[in-house]
Homo-oligomer: A and B are copies of this chain.
Amino acid sequence: MQGLGPAGGSGSGSQEGAACQGRSRWRFRSFVFVLQEAMSAFEACPVPVIAAVHGHCVGAGIDMITACDIRLATDSAVFCVKEADLAIVADMGTLQRLPAIVGHGATAELALTARDFSGAEAKELRLVSQSYKSQEALMAAANAMARTIAAKSPLAVCGTKRVLLYQRDHSVADGLDYVATWNSAMLPQSADVQEVFLARAQRRRPIFSRL
């Protein structure tokens, strides 16, 4: 008849409502973690992810793109950290990841006013690395960038992503120790480094095996 026991009962009827309350909040918290994990999937993905934004990128859209590694947009794209307008504190990553990208001050202004801002302003704020005139130009640039990155050593590219994510949350001293340890695993006798120099000598593009 205990709450945690294998045969735990449902409790008496009269306390049901209130009982659900505490319990529903425990479940609510767990559910937020599920949503957060969906957004964090971009970050957990070993290879870098590029977000190409046109049209509207609002609320969960910002959660999503801030969990990506690189962001591009059209000048006319519309961004908005909308949650305050819905009486909600954004809880799927925007308030956590945006400050590391655009700074604490800019994040506060965008999140507290919930105002729209364009791709051009997003470029100025460095939320996006580049902003383009048209969707075509955007997609062409995003694809070119993806191809550029994909042509590099997977060990270097995925390692750089991981080391940068580590750095975001640690001190410089911690980061220096981490990357030294990382490279002592991944770098010595690396075939990718050898392939780079071989390819240069042979005046061809290097070819790397999959990770």
Contacts and interface: CB of A to CB of B under 8 A. Distances in A.
Interface of A: 1-5, 8-12, 15-26, 28-29, 32-33, 36, 40, 47-48, 69-71, 83-91, 93, 95-97, 99-109, 111-115, 125-127, 129, 145, 147-161, 163-164, 166-196, 206-211
Given A89-B159, A89-B160, 15 more contacts: A3-B151, A11-B195, A15-B209, A19-B191, A26-B155, A48-B108, A71-B105, A86-B156, A88-B193, A89-B183, A96-B175, A96-B176, A103-B126, A112-B160, A173-B173
A210 B4 contact: yes
Contacts of A157: 4, 84, 112
List the number of copies, as a whole number: 6
B168 A169 contact: no
Contacts of A88: 156, 183, 187, 193
A15 B93 CA distance: 30
A164 B83 CA distance: 14
A26 B173 CA distance: 19
